[in-house]
Amino acid sequence: CIRDRLVIDALLAAIALLTKRIWGFAFGYLAGSVNGIALTLVKVAALSSGSMALVEQLKGPWLYIALFFGIFATVFTQIGFWRDRALIVVPTYTSLTMMTPAVMEYFVFGFSLSALQYFSLGAIVLGVIILCSGTPEAVLAGDFSAAARGDDE
């Protein structure tokens, strides 16, 4: 599950680097995914140590791996900010930070969300799509051209 997610993230980053078009979305997606993995690893550290005490959790490798992923999330976010608007990077990052642990916990721990939580995640995804499509006025008008998105190229 983590390996598949990282492959998708790497492909998006490669597309962004080659096309120079979806930097904010790709690196926001990448940073959010990596941060979501870090959050899941923190939960794994608590479960594997059998204690909520930080001292016990520091004896295992999971918190250190989570820290490593958190550093990469910061780097990817900064690359996204460097090349694109925060209006695209931040919603993508935030939504993936929430969605990745939900998906991973389903596959790793067998934990399922309630119907309201699924609806909320769907609303978040819809909001990200609308925000990444262009200005609110252009989206409401149905104009998804490059000029409406504010692309300079």
pLDDT tens digits, one per residue of 56-92: 778 888 889 999 999 999 998 998 888 887 877 888 8
* Nearest one of 42, 100, 47, 87 to 68, comparing CA atoms: 42
Instruction: Return all residues near 25 (Cβ < 8 A) that are at least 6 apart.
Output: 12, 16, 84, 88, 89, 92, 132
Supply the pLDDT for residue 136.
59
Supply the pLDDT for residue 149.
47
Percent of the chain residues topping a pLDDT of 90: 12
- Residue pair 54/33 in contact by the 8 Å Cβ criterion: no
> Could you list the pLDDT tens digit for every one of the 153 residues in the chain?
666 766 776 777 777 667 666 778 888 888 998 999 898 888 888 888 877 777 777 888 888 999 999 999 999 899 888 888 787 788 888 888 888 888 888 877 788 888 888 888 888 878 777 776 666 566 566 555 544 444 444
This model's pTM is above 0.85: no
Alpha carbons 128 and 26: distance in angstroms, whole number: 13
Q: What is the mean pLDDT of the chain?
A: 78
Instruction: Return all residues near 12 (Cβ < 8 A) that are at least 6 apart.
Output: 22, 25, 26, 29, 30
Supply the pLDDT for residue 11.
75
Q: DSSP string covering 99-151, please?
A: HHHHHHHHHHH-----HHHHHHHHHHHHHHHHHHHS-HHHHHHT--SHHHHT-
